[in-house]
């Protein structure tokens, strides 16, 4: 499945210097990248209100309603047909969600997810006591590189307890070389619209001033 992917170069420069027979070799440069995927257009972005939910491979973007080899995380509900269904994550043993005691930790923008974080694998409760946008840290095995990567999900929960259609995965981000990642807030929909309106108004004002000068 094709995903919209934004690659943000984090300009992490790894310079390797060596001297052989008294001659300095040319420095080599590699780049680490933070991969951000806008998941909101995916058919599964609104988590199905059942015990299956959906499974996803964060690198390839492959999704499904049943477990498959290489899946990284499974957002789902503890059951359907009841108002008390809990929102949960399931991760394979090679991965995990930031949290402890069976409860996922809700992270704030600016938090760091990395090797020093505490992770819980398997089933973990991600249900929020408050409605809004929440961030959940995770780790997973990147099959392409064989390295554990760190990232986070951006999840919107519109009701507590969650009901049909109330939980949506807006996006996910991860650092692709095994380094830690910093949680970055996504603009609230209203804020984003206000920002666009402001930019449009500023552009219109500039056009009017330019036209006035040329008149």
Question: Of all helices (H) and strands (E), which one includes residue 210?
Answer: helix 189-214
Q: SS3 of 212, please?
A: helix
CA distance 92 to 70: 9
Task: Say how far residue 87 (Cα) sits from the centre of its chain.
Answer: 17
Nearest to residue 172, comparing CAs of 24, 42, 50?
42
Strand partners, 172: 37, 153
Give the rounded distance of the alpha carbon of 130 from its chain centre: 20
Q: What is the pLDDT of residue 23?
A: 31
Which is more confidently placed, 68 or 16?
A: 68
How many residues comprise the chain? 215
Q: Residue 136's beta-bridge partner residues?
A: 106, 153
SS3 197: helix
Are the CB atoms for 43 and 27 separated by under 8 Å?
no
27-73 residue pLDDT tens = 333 468 999 999 999 999 999 999 999 999 999 999 999 999 999 99
pTM greater than 0.85 (yes/no):
no
pLDDT tens-place string over residues 113-141: 999 999 999 999 999 888 999 999 999 99
Question: What pLDDT, on a 0 to 100 scale, did the predictor assign at position 202?
Answer: 52
Residue 112 tokens read as 């760091």
- Asked whether the bond before 161 is cis by omega within 30 degrees of 0, the reply is yes
Comparing CA positions, the residue from 67, 178, 176, 64 lying closest to residue 122 is 67
Compute the mean pLDDT over every residue in the chain, rounded to the nearest whole number: 80
């Amino acid at each position: 499945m094709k995903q919209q992917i934004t690659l943000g170069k984090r300009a992490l420069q790894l310079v390797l210097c060596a001297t052989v027979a008294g001659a300095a070799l040319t420095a080599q440069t590699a780049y680490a990248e933070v991969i951000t995927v806008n998941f909101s257009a995916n058919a599964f972005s609104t988590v199905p209100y059942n015990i299956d939910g959906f499974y996803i491979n964060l690198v390839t973007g492959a999704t499904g309603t049943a477990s498959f080899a290489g899946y990284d995380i499974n957002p789902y509900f503890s059951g359907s047909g009841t108002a008390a269904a809990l929102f949960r994550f399931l991760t394979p043993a090679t991965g995990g969600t930031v949290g402890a005691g069976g409860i996922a930790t809700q992270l704030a923008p600016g938090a760091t997810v990395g090797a020093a974080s505490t992770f819980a694998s398997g089933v973990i409760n991600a249900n929020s006591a408050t409605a809004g946008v929440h961030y959940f840290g995770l780790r997973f095995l990147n099959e392409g590189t064989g390295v554990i990567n760190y990232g986070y999900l951006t999840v919107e929960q519109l009701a507590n307890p969650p009901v049909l259609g109330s939980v949506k995965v807006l996006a996910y981000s991860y650092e692709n070389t095994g380094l830690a990642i910093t949680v970055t807030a996504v603009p609230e929909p209203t804020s984003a619209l206000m920002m666009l309106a402001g930019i449009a108004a500023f552009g219109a004002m500039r056009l009017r001033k330019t036209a006035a000068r040329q008149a």
